[in-house]
Amino acid sequence: MPANPFTRLISWMNAAGVVWVFALTFLICADITGRTVFDSPIRGVPEMVSLSLVACVFLQLAYAIHQGRLTRAGMLVERLEVRHVALATAWGGVLAAVGCVLFV
């Protein structure tokens, strides 16, 4: 079954984020080598890295959510799901709403 366009877009965004992180790794290594060996760092590397990390996270976040691999602390939620199913469902809705607001 072929993937829908939304899934393809998410996969391409994730791939772009991975390539971007890989490129940043080489840039950081080149900057460190330049500082250590030639006593001449590459200008603007700290700024590029700090601004790029935010973009990389947002490019890869949709894929992590789509795959259900977003890291979370589930101790409270797991206990709620066992004892109070309705409360756990409501809590999940609140967290989803907060996540939507943060994305916007």
Residue 80's pLDDT is what? 80
Domain residue spans in the chain?
A: 1-71, 72-104
Q: Specify the pLDDT at position 46.
A: 92
- In whole angstroms, give the CA distance from residue 34 to residue 68: 40
d(CA 17, CA 44) in angstroms, rounded, equals 20
**What is the rounded CA–CA span in Å between residue 87 and residue 92?**
9
pTM: 0.65
User: Across the 104 residues of the chain, what is the mean pLDDT of every consecutive 10-residue run?
Assistant: 78 92 94 93 92 89 82 76 87 86 82
Task: State the Cα–Cα distance between residues 93 and 71, nearest whole angstrom.
Answer: 17
